[in-house]
Structure 1
Amino acid sequence: MDVFLIGAFTSPFGKRPEADFKALTREAVTGVLADAGLDDGRAIDTVHFANSFMHHWGQHLIRGNVCLAPLVEAGLLLRHTPVFNVEGACAGGSIAFRGAVNEVRAGSARLALAVGVEKLFDPDNPTVMQQLFDGGFDSFDRDRWMREYRDTAAAAGFPYAPGPGRPVTMDTYAIQAAWHMATYGTTVEQIAAVAAKNHAHAVHNPKAQYRTAMTVEQVLADKPIAAPLTRAMCAPMSDGAAAVLVCDGATLATLPAVTRQRAVRLRANVFTGGSFRQAEEPSLTRPAVDRAYAMAGLGPEDIDVVEVHDATSFCEIYQTEMLRLCPEGGGGAFAAAGETALGGRVPVNPSGGLVSKGHPLAATGLSMLTELVTQLRGEAGARQVAGARIALQQNGGGTLGLEEAVCSITILERRG
């Protein structure tokens, strides 16, 4: 069954201590309804709600139910609408999207909503918030992945020295970057070029957390986080929310003409699960994207615009290789040559990516889809990719050794 994205919305990302979870949820839901041209959401059959860290703020177990209750009481959602709570670290929003898509495909919903909401900025407990990221690793067998990190770092001639003041995830990416540099000759200047490119893209994104352009030299001179990574190469702590509304073809035909004209077709949605792997092995992104290309009947040469999970700027280099957009080991040179910038062969992260747009975990995957929907509609303004027809999203979450615990690949197509 065909599935269409008829509404997509992201809140501004950043440090938003004045906005609580219910306020962010309302912002996302009312925003996606307005984008879809709907006065309210009473026709929505089901909601899939993603969040990772709400327990830090005192709410467990029924997170989405609590956050959506005021919208039900206000008549924006129908009473007794089922809410499914999901949690998948940085891929939580994509998992919620998958749930909504599957309900439409199965015929159990005509309209299904995916929402992701997160608050990572706690000025009173910044250290505790950083420690929560350790929950995205294997807490029952820490020795295994720490041993793997030490061995991989040693093979790259890189000292593994985890320290206070940064999440373990930054050590993960630093080790992988060091191995890639030692194996393929990738340079820190190439990683900085990716960061500078995304900071430049974000200047044109009014929802981005950081909207200041940076040169390669400024990126390299920024505060060190975990060598070779500087702060400008790493995604920040963010608050924010995002939502996507999907429906089937029969329902789409009943909606207003403007909604039908702006709808985007889903061509593929594939997930893979992570496993402990050797550094030289392709990551879980590779089988996911190969299945997605096959499902869509497309290849990497057909992709016009991409949003990848650049938790660090090295991640973007690596993911462009895993997505077959360039040869393995060639991601650094590919980016440095301008191929992934606006106007290049295949623009990557025109939103500014996670490093500039921001990274409120459970909202991230849905914000990436929102950017791609905006691109395919031709509504991205100064960051518009000319003639964009096919878009690809790659979103990862959690960590098992050297790779993510889950990977989502979504391919979207402009209608008409």
Structure 2
Amino acid sequence: MSASRAVYVVGVHATAVGRFADRSLKSLTREAVEGAVADAGLEQSREIGSAWFANCGMWVEGQGSIRGQVMLTPLIRDGLLAERLPIFNIEGGCASAAMALQGARKDIAAGDVDLALAVAAERTFYPDAPERTAALFNGGIDQFDPHEWHDYYARAGEVAGKRFETGADRTVFMDTYAMQAAHHMARYGTTIEQIAAVAAKNHSIAVDNPKAQYRFPMTVEQVLADRPVSYPLTRAMCAPLGDGAAAAILCSQAWLDRAPATVQARAVRIAGTALTSGKYRGLDEPSLSHVAAQRAYAMAGIGPARIDLAEVHDATAFSEIYQSEMLGFCAPGEGGALAGSGATALGGSLPINLSGGLESKGHPVGATGLMMIEELVRQLRGEAGARQAVRHRIALAETGGGVVGFDEGACAVTILER
């Protein structure tokens, strides 16, 4: 990417993640945008030339079509954002926020604007209407031809040695992760203790993340003793329901060159980014995240050995092991050993999910991708406090959303460079 087309992140903010039945999506959105504007040191935030708004489930509350316009109108009315601002609405499962980031980046790389906003807000917790939560997640898998994935999982279950089951007390998403974990264990010798070690690491590091949904340490033994969800997964290995919002402000090289030195000193370059879509693949076939990573590495002109730290989409603890392999941090089948070695912990050679991961930091679905960016930007700036990585020049974020067989429906990989 030429210098004239370089794109930087100059402002980030994320709300805490939690079950916020007393907060509106508009208030979460406002906090994220105002925080990003303040972080960027913008005196004239109305210079922002485009906004990309991401959300998955607002339609279950009756709001579709113009979600971003509805969420950002109060900020426009108050003068924080410009009138007649072009607002793009994005929906792509858990990858929604990462898609919004890509849209904002393309606006700047194309020369259309010098400043762009990516923002995402999500509610997944409805204590008085659990059917809304169910509807939100059911939208992440094919509802027109469900027989296709039923048959696919039934056949795959025979290969994986874990029968595919459905029921009111089960979730297709956790069951498919569990099937992949069981297959990985049978083929490569990955152990349930290694999966539990990932969850214990993430729960324990989240103690020092003030924005994390769960802030209590866990041992491997405690993770294994928690309530079973779908073998080999226990509750402590799975992401909880949560609400939250995040935002990032992006700029062009020309804008950054005019900015104060204090802004320039904290800017983080988007070195590479890629989006892929899922397919009904074989259990042993590389995933869409592998393809996205290869494309992002090519754009950045680097390989996986150059990555100092990463945030990956660990909707279950097994996912961190699997994504370590797909992103090229280790060979297929070696993700469990990598996690067990301590290499992915704080102070390790390749720390992963220093935010606490989705199991502990939380997973407000459509906002998660930008929360990863917020974490990595702060790490690259050296602003992560007790969770600060020792090596922090180049970082990678991977997030996937929805389900197509054993792939996500979409996956985004972003590489950031200090």
Tell me whether 4-13 or 149-158 shows the greater mean CA deviation: 149-158
Q: What are the Cα deviations for residues 283-310 of structure 1, in whole angstroms up to 9, with x where unaligned?
A: 0111211121121111111110000000
Task: Give how far 1:72 is off.
Answer: 0.6
Of 344, 361, 384, the match for 1:380: 384
Query: Which residues of 2 match residues 256-295 of structure 1 at below 5 A?
Result: 256-295=260-299
Q: Residue 84 of structure 1: SS of its match in structure 2?
A: strand
Task: Give how far 1:133 is off.
Answer: 0.8
Aligned residues of 1:306 and 1:392 also touching (Cα < 8 A): yes
Q: What are the Cα deviations for residues 319-363 of structure 1, in whole angstroms up to 9, with x where unaligned?
A: 000011011011011101111111111000000011111111111
Of 10, 15, 24, the match for 1:20: 24
Q: Residue 203 of structure 1: SS of its match in structure 2?
A: helix
Aligned residues of 2:14 and 2:374 also touching (Cα < 8 A): yes
Tell me whether 151-160 or 203-212 shows the greater mean CA deviation: 151-160
Tell me the equivalent position of 2:308. 304
Task: Give how far 1:132 is off.
Answer: 2.6
Amino acid corresponding to residue 257 of structure 1 in structure 2: A
Tell me whether 157-166 or 314-323 shows the greater mean CA deviation: 157-166
Amino acid corresponding to residue 284 of structure 1 in structure 2: L
Q: Residue 101 of structure 1: SS of its match in structure 2?
A: helix
Amino acid corresponding to residue 142 of structure 2 in structure 1: D
Of 45, 51, 58, the match for 2:49: 45
Amino acid corresponding to residue 336 of structure 1 in structure 2: G
Q: CA RMSD in A?
A: 1.0
Of 328, 332, 353, the match for 1:349: 353
Q: C-alpha separation between the residues in 2 aligned to 1:228 and 1:162?
A: 17
Aligned residues of 1:65 and 1:83 also touching (Cα < 8 A): yes
Aligned residues of 1:241 and 1:363 also touching (Cα < 8 A): yes
Q: Residue 45 of structure 2: SS of its match in structure 1?
A: coil
> Structure 1: where are the runs of 5+ without partners?
none
Of 180, 194, 201, the match for 2:205: 201
Tell me the equivalent position of 1:368. 372
Tell me the equivalent position of 1:157. 161
Q: Residue 42 of structure 1: SS of its match in structure 2?
A: helix
Amino acid corresponding to residue 37 of structure 2 in structure 1: L
Task: Give how far 1:256 is off.
Answer: 2.0
Q: C-alpha separation between the residues in 2 aligned to 1:411 and 1:248?
A: 17
Q: Residue 169 of structure 1: SS of its match in structure 2?
A: helix
Q: C-alpha separation between the residues in 1 aligned to 2:245 and 2:200?
A: 25
Aligned residues of 1:130 and 1:167 also touching (Cα < 8 A): no
Aligned residues of 2:124 and 2:136 also touching (Cα < 8 A): no
Q: Percent sequence identity over matched residues?
A: 55
Tell me the equivalent position of 1:413. 417
Query: Which residues of 2 match residues 86-125 of structure 1 at below 5 A?
Result: 86-125=90-129
User: Could you list the runs of 4 or more consecutive aligned residues of structure 1 that deviate by over 3 angstroms after TM superposition?
Assistant: none
Task: Give how far 1:40 is off.
Answer: 4.9
Task: Give how far 1:402 is off.
Answer: 0.7
Amino acid corresponding to residue 289 of structure 2 in structure 1: T
> Structure 2: where are the runs of 5+ without partners?
none
Tell me the equivalent position of 2:248. 244
Aligned residues of 1:5 and 1:245 also touching (Cα < 8 A): yes
Amino acid corresponding to residue 403 of structure 2 in structure 1: T
Q: C-alpha separation between the residues in 1 aligned to 2:12 and 2:147?
A: 42
Q: C-alpha separation between the residues in 2 aligned to 1:67 and 1:177?
A: 39
Tell me whether 287-296 or 390-399 shows the greater mean CA deviation: 287-296
Q: C-alpha separation between the residues in 2 aligned to 1:261 and 1:166?
A: 49
Amino acid corresponding to residue 287 of structure 1 in structure 2: V
Tell me whether 342-351 or 161-170 shows the greater mean CA deviation: 161-170
Amino acid corresponding to residue 339 of structure 2 in structure 1: A
Asked if 1:143 corresponds to 2:162, the answer is no
Q: Residue 143 of structure 1: SS of its match in structure 2?
A: helix
Q: What are the Cα deviations for residues 109-129 of structure 1, in whole angstroms up to 9, with x where unaligned?
A: 110000010011111012431
Q: C-alpha separation between the residues in 2 aligned to 1:159 and 1:249?
A: 53
Q: Residue 139 of structure 2: SS of its match in structure 1?
A: helix
Query: For the structure 1 residues 21 and 128, does the alpha-carbon distance in structure 2 shift closer, same or farther, using more than 3 Å as the test?
Result: closer
Q: C-alpha separation between the residues in 2 aligned to 1:294 and 1:251?
A: 26
Aligned residues of 1:225 and 1:231 also touching (Cα < 8 A): yes
Q: Residue 183 of structure 2: SS of its match in structure 1?
A: helix
Asked if 1:231 corresponds to 2:235, the answer is yes
Q: What are the Cα deviations for residues 252-281 of structure 1, in whole angstroms up to 9, with x where unaligned?
A: 122222111100011101111111100010
Aligned residues of 2:273 and 2:295 also touching (Cα < 8 A): no
Asked if 1:217 corresponds to 2:221, the answer is yes
Tell me whether 147-156 or 232-241 shows the greater mean CA deviation: 147-156
Task: Give how far 1:140 is off.
Answer: 1.6
Amino acid corresponding to residue 22 of structure 1 in structure 2: K
Aligned residues of 2:60 and 2:135 also touching (Cα < 8 A): no
Task: Give how far 1:157 is off.
Answer: 1.9
Q: Residue 9 of structure 2: SS of its match in structure 1?
A: strand
Of 323, 328, 333, the match for 1:324: 328
Aligned residues of 2:192 and 2:232 also touching (Cα < 8 A): yes
Query: For the structure 1 residues 149 and 137, does the alpha-carbon distance in structure 2 shift closer, same or farther, using more than 3 Å as the test?
Result: same
Asked if 1:81 corresponds to 2:85, the answer is yes
Q: Residue 368 of structure 1: SS of its match in structure 2?
A: helix
Amino acid corresponding to residue 203 of structure 1 in structure 2: V
Asked if 1:176 corresponds to 2:191, the answer is no
Aligned residues of 1:131 and 1:167 also touching (Cα < 8 A): no
Asked if 1:54 corresponds to 2:51, the answer is no
Tell me the equivalent position of 1:32. 36
Aligned residues of 1:117 and 1:240 also touching (Cα < 8 A): yes
Q: What are the Cα deviations for residues 207-248 of structure 1, in whole angstroms up to 9, with x where unaligned?
A: 100010100011111111111111111111110000011010
Task: Give how far 1:89 is off.
Answer: 0.6
Q: What are the Cα deviations for residues 162-199 of structure 1, in whole angstroms up to 9, with x where unaligned?
A: 22234321111111111111111111111100000111
